[in-house]
Amino acid sequence: GNSVTQMEGPVTLSEEAFLTINCTYTATGYPSLFWYVQYPGEGLQLLLKATKADDKGSNKGFEATYRKETTSFHLEKGSVQVSDSAVYFCALSDPNFNKFYFGSGTKLNVKP
Amino acid sequence: EAGVAQSPRYKIIEKRQSVAFWCNPISGHATLYWYQQILGQGPKLLIQFQNNGVVDDSQLPKDRFSAERLKGVDSTLKIQPAKLEDSAVYLCASSLDPLAGLTDTQYFGPGTRLTVL
């Protein structure tokens, strides 16, 4: 079946540090992959997505590359800011079975 | 542009009681989703509507949960009777393009936090 596995948090970094949040997936077909973010007190919102292998999604300085060979979609940012503190969710959509799966979320705390 | 609206924001009930949640999607969005998010977990898709038809409800516990989307706009999710394990945040989301399917961006509401005592 389909599933998404994220690294457990919380992840605590100092401002301007490099960020990686790992995400791996299991899928029966050719899924699309997403990162959603939930800032404190706000609803979930799409951060970036990739719909086929080797695609790179990017937004607000964040990047993730769809790696079919390693079934991964790791989120990276070169220099985090305090305002990036949030919960990040990796997600997968399976078009064959019309299913959508979220990972369990990784909380990021960025200290000044 | 107004976002996805949900009400109530918070609800506390006792087990075996009934509860209903309301969602108003972004105007013009064809697809509407209901998710359940238990504390410490990612959201789980319960049901997906396209206009007023059900696309998928395989994860909806149909013995106690029901949902409808009359006229293809607003939607209501009901739990009857509630159990302790139904305590969660119930999220509504909508997306614009039905042809894009689940690759389309979903826009989420603020959620309804349900506590079952």
pLDDT tens digits for range A5-60: 998 889 999 999 999 999 999 988 789 999 999 998 888 999 999 999 999 999 99
Q: What is the dihedral of CA B55, B57, B62, B65, to 10 degrees?
A: -90
- Could you give the CA distance from residue B76 to residue A105 in angstroms, rounded to a whole number? 27
Q: What is the pLDDT of residue B1?
A: 67
Burial per residue of B16-45, b for 16 or more beta-carbon CB atoms within 10 angstroms, e otherwise: eeebebebbbbeebbbbbbbbbeeeebbbb
> Mutating which of B9, B47, B49, B106 best tests the A interface, going by the most A Cβ atoms within 10 A?
B106
Answer whether A39's CB lies under 8 Å from A92's CB: no
Mapping DSSP to helix (H, G, I), strand (E, B) and coil, where does residue B70 land? helix
Strand partners, B48: B33, B56
Residues B58-86 have a mean pLDDT of: 94
Contact A104 B56 (CB under 8 A): no
> Mutating which of A8, A97, A98 best tests the B interface, going by the most B Cβ atoms within 10 A?
A98
B36 contact residues in A (CB cutoff 8 A): none
Q: Report pLDDT digits (tens) over B18-42.
A: 999 999 999 999 999 999 999 989 9
- The per-residue pLDDT of chain A, averaged, comes to 93
Alpha-carbon gap: B83 to the closest alpha carbon of chain A (Å): 23
- Could you give the CA distance from residue A3 to residue B22 in angstroms, rounded to a whole number? 29
A86 contact residues in B (CB cutoff 8 A): none
CB atoms under 10 Å from CB of A6, counted, come to 24
Percent of chain A with pLDDT over 90: 79
Q: Cα–chain-centroid distance for residue A8?
A: 12
Q: What is the pLDDT of residue B71?
A: 85
Name which of A75-84, B17-26, B55-64 the model is least confident about: B55-64
Alpha-carbon gap: A37 to the closest alpha carbon of chain B (Å): 11
The residue behind tokens 């390693």 is: A70
The better pLDDT of the pair A77, B105 is held by: A77
Q: Which of A13, A22, A11, A29 is nearest to A80 (CA)?
A: A13
- Residue of A43, A94, A104 lying closest to B110 (CB–CB): A43
Beta strand B44-50 with B31-37 is antiparallel
Q: Cα–chain-centroid distance for residue B50?
A: 13
- Could you give the CA distance from residue B107 to residue A46 in angstroms, rounded to a whole number? 8
Any CB–CB contact under 8 A between A93 and chain B? yes
* pLDDT > 90? residue B97: no
Contact B103 A51 (CB under 8 A): yes
